[in-house]
Amino acid sequence: MRLPERFFSRLLLAYLPFMVYPYDLFRAGAAAVWVVVFLWVTVFSFWFTRRLFPGRSIKHAFFLWLIVWAQAAWTLTRLPPHWVLSVFFLMPVSFLDAEAKPGHIRVFSREVPRYFFERALGGSAFVIFVMVMVFVREAGEKKFGIRLFEQPAGPLFVAAGMAFLWKKTHRFSWG
Amino acid sequence: MNFKKFLLAAGQYLFLALFLGLLGAILYAAQFLRR
């Protein structure tokens, strides 16, 4: 399976599990923050330890890591286990690719802070995106009583509008 | 086989074993900490 390379597409994919959560604004925000913090920890730890894994085992180790944490967080916080899908979709595209050779980038080069800055920016964008979507859904459903927002069609419509605006403004090459 | 290479591979597999152990510990701790 090949993930889309555009950042906004992946943001949208990562948001999809949030559409089925029966959460209010606060709980959705907390779940999004947890997803992003876990994403940052994962990217950070795998970036620095990837050369320590034997051969190609890093991909299996990565998926095991995701599965184990999905289960552990579900046990502890009752967050639905598919929260980990959001993390998976937010992962940088070339993450764990065989062609991406971390050996060529020194640990203390300028590339590393830039890389992590982009990841931090992307994660924050995800939290803001989720909050906006949940806010719009709640406002449309409860305050204005728009039926459309009780169905997935409402949030999808808003997401389509945001994607349109995103395309109109500029094109970043994040991740 | 080159001894240095052997040592490197052994270290990598040791790291993998530690990693799997960490995952197991996470699962166990989650079960244990459940309210």
Express each pLDDT in A128-153 by its tens digit: 988 888 888 888 877 787 777 777 77
Domain containing residue B32: 1-35
Closest CB from A53, A68, A72 relative to B12: A53
pTM: 0.80
CA closest to B31 among chain A residues: A75
ipTM topping 0.90: no
pLDDT computed for residue A97 by the predictor: 66
Between chains, do B34 and A76 touch, taking CB under 8 Å as contact? yes
Q: Which residues of chain B have pLDDT under 50?
A: none
Cβ-contact A13, A68 below 8 angstroms: no
Letter string b/e over residues A97-126, b meaning 16 or more CB atoms within 10 A of that residue's CB: eeeeeeeeeeeeeeeeeebeebbeebbebb
Closest CB from B9, B16, B30 relative to A61: B16
Q: Is B29 on the interface with A (CB under 8 A)?
A: yes
- Structurally, chain B folds into a number of domains equal to 1
Between chains, do A64 and B23 touch, taking CB under 8 Å as contact? yes
pLDDT computed for residue A17 by the predictor: 86
Instruction: Return d(Cα A59, Cα A24) in angstroms, integer.
Output: 35
Q: Is B28 on the interface with A (CB under 8 A)?
A: no
Report which of A67, A64, A98, A95 is spatially closest to residue A81, judged by C-alpha positions: A67
Q: Which residues of chain A have pLDDT under 70?
A: 1-5, 93-110, 169-175
Q: Which residues contact A172 (CB under 8 A, 6 or more apart)?
A: A7
**Which pair of tokens denotes residue B34?**
């459940």
